[in-house]
C-alpha cells in the first residue's frame, strides 16, 4: 500500500470536488476544504469515524446537496444536473405492494420509458443480479440479501456510469454480505462503472476498493488517500497475508489520526 496524491491521468475526471465545504446552519461545519478527483472506472471507498461527513460527501456527489462553498462536477458538468448516476442505501427502500419487477422498473416508469423497453431493461437488470426468476415476487417473500439485490438491480436498470453506495450491506449476515461484495465488484468491472462506497468496515473497504479515502471529523475532511493493490479478488483473498496486512495498515492509519 502506498500513499497517493497524483491527479487522475484522465483529462476530465468522472468526479471532481474542488475546495468543497458544507455547512448546516451557522455553527455546524460538516465538511471543509475537500479536494478530490476520481477517474472513470475507479472503485473508491470513503471511511472514517461516525459524523465525519461520509454520507454528506456522497450526497454532494449525487447532487442531492449543493455545496456551501466550492464546486462538485460529474463528468465535467454540474453534479445537480448529472445523469447516469444511481444510489443504493442500507435500507433497500422497496415498495411493499409492488412486485420485484415493478420496483426495479420504477425509475424507468418515472422517466416515461415505454412498456416494452422497460420490460426488457428490467429483465436484463435482474439477470445481472441473479434474480430473473423472481420478477413477480413481492418484497416480503425475499430474504434480506435478495431484497438488497433488487435494490442494486433498480440502480442498474438506469444503466448508470456512476454508482454510489451508502452502507448498503450493513444489516446483512456475513456470508450474504461477502457474496454481495463479490457481486458488486463483478458488476462494477463488467459495466465499467465508477463506484463510490461509504462504509464503516475496514475489511470491506480494503476488499472492494482500489483507493480508500480516510476521513477525519470536526470538521469532516479528507485526511489521507491510500491505494489498495490486491489484484483480482477471489475466494482466497480475504484470508491472504497481503489482504490482512493491508487491513492492518489501514487500521493503523485511522487510529493514528494522522499523527505518524
All structural domains of the chain, each given as residue ranges with its CATH number in brackets, are 1-84+162-171+193-260 (3.40.50.300)
The total of other beta-carbon atoms located within 10 Å of residue 234's CB is 10
Assign residue 253 a region (left: φ > 0; alpha: ψ between -120 and 50; beta: otherwise): alpha
d(CA 68, CA 197): 23
Please list the pLDDT of the chain residue by residue as tens digits (260 residues): 444 444 444 478 999 999 999 998 877 889 999 999 999 999 999 998 888 899 999 999 999 999 999 999 999 999 988 888 999 888 889 999 999 999 999 999 998 999 999 999 999 999 888 899 999 999 999 998 899 889 989 988 988 999 999 988 877 788 888 888 898 898 899 889 999 999 999 999 999 999 999 999 888 999 999 999 898 998 899 999 999 999 999 999 888 865 54
DSSP 85: E
Say what the pTM is. Answer: 0.86
- β-sheet bridge partners, residue 50: none
What distances in angstroms separate CA 16 from CA 62, 81, 221, one per listed residue? 12, 14, 15
Which strands sit side by side in the sheet containing 43-47, from one edge to the other? 2-3, 221-227, 211-216, 43-47, 194-198, 162-166, 85-89
Amino acid at each position: 500500500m502506498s500513499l497517493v496524491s497524483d491527479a487522475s491521468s484522465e483529462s476530465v475526471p468522472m468526479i471532481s470536488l474542488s475546495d468543497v465545504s458544507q455547512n448546516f446552519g451557522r455553527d455546524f461545519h460538516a465538511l471543509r476544504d475537500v479536494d478530490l478527483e476520481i477517474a472513470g472506472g475507479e472503485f473508491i471507498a470513503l471511511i472514517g469515524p461516525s459524523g465525519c461527513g461520509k454520507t454528506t460527501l456522497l450526497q454532494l456527489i449525487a447532487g442531492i446537496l449543493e455545496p456551501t462553498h466550492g464546486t462538485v462536477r460529474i463528468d465535467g458538468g454540474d453534479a445537480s444536473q448529472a445523469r447516469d448516476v444511481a444510489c443504493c442505501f442500507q435500507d433497500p427502500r422497496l415498495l411493499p405492494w409492488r412486485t420485484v419487477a415493478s420496483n426495479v422498473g420504477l425509475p424507468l416508469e418515472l422517466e416515461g420509458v415505454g412498456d416494452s423497453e422497460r420490460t426488457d431493461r428490467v429483465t436484463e437488470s435482474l439477470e445481472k443480479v441473479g434474480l430473473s426468476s423472481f420478477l413477480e415476487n413481492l418484497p416480503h417473500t425475499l430474504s434480506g440479501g435478495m431484497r438488497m439485490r433488487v435494490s442494486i438491480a433498480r440502480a442498474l436498470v438506469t444503466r448508470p456510469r456512476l454508482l454510489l453506495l451508502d452502507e448498503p450491506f450493513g444489516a446483512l449476515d456475513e456470508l450474504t454480505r461477502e457474496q454481495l461484495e463479490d457481486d458488486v465488484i463483478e458488476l462494477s468491472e463488467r459495466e465499467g462503472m465508477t463506484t463510490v462506497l461509504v462504509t464503516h468496515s475496514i475489511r470491506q473497504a480494503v476488499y472492494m476498493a482500489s483507493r480508500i479515502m480516510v476521513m477525519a471529523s470536526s470538521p469532516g475532511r479528507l485526511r489521507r488517500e491510500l491505494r489498495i493493490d490486491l489484484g483480482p479478488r477471489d475466494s482466497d483473498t480475504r484470508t491472504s497475508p497481503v489482504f490482512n496486512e493491508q487491513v492492518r495498515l489501514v487500521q493503523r492509519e485511522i487510529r493514528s489520526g494522522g499523527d505518524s
